[in-house]
Amino acid sequence: MEESVHDGLRAGPRGWAVSDCVVTLVRSGFSSVFSTAGDFRALTRIVLDRALRSAGTRLYEPCLAYELEAPGPTLAAVCGRLTAMGAAVEETVATAEGWLLRGTVAARGAAGVERWLPGLTHGEGIWWTRPAGDRPMVP
């Protein structure tokens, strides 16, 4: 049964592994005449799946806070690309050199920004990130 629980948590209700979870066996009705080990393994997966669904399992992704300096004429293109990838632009400040943008982005998207930023800013963009916790993923 324990192995079935671990397998079920690795698969999760939506195909993502479940973490931060405690599973406790309260009672078992094993009867060697009527039940087999396979019965309990199969039932364990069904009960675990129902429990996770009724618990309201939520999926989160790690995020990064970013600061991005971009030359003035590139603001629209940079903001458009950031929002298209799901990044939040929370603050835009005019500077003597152009624009300073602050916001959050999913950690999985940071490498993409690093790839397209030099092309959109003609090599003049500056990008910093730091961990910023997790945010719920939209299914």
Report pLDDT digits (tens) over 70-120.
999 999 999 999 999 989 999 999 999 999 999 999 999 999 999 999 999
In tens, the pLDDT along 28-38 reads 766 667 777 77
SS3 of the chain: CHHHHHHHHHHCCCCCCCCCCCCCCCCCCCCCCCCCHHHHHHHHHHHHHHHHHHCCCCCEEEEEEEEEEEEHHHHHHHHHHHHHCCCEEEEEEECCCEEEEEEEEEHHHHHHHHHHHHHHCCCCCEEEEEEEEEEECCC
CATH of domain 60-136: 3.30.70.240
Task: Write down the domain spans for the chain.
Answer: 2-54, 60-136
pTM of the model: 0.66
Q: Does position 15 have pLDDT exceeding 80, yes or no?
A: no
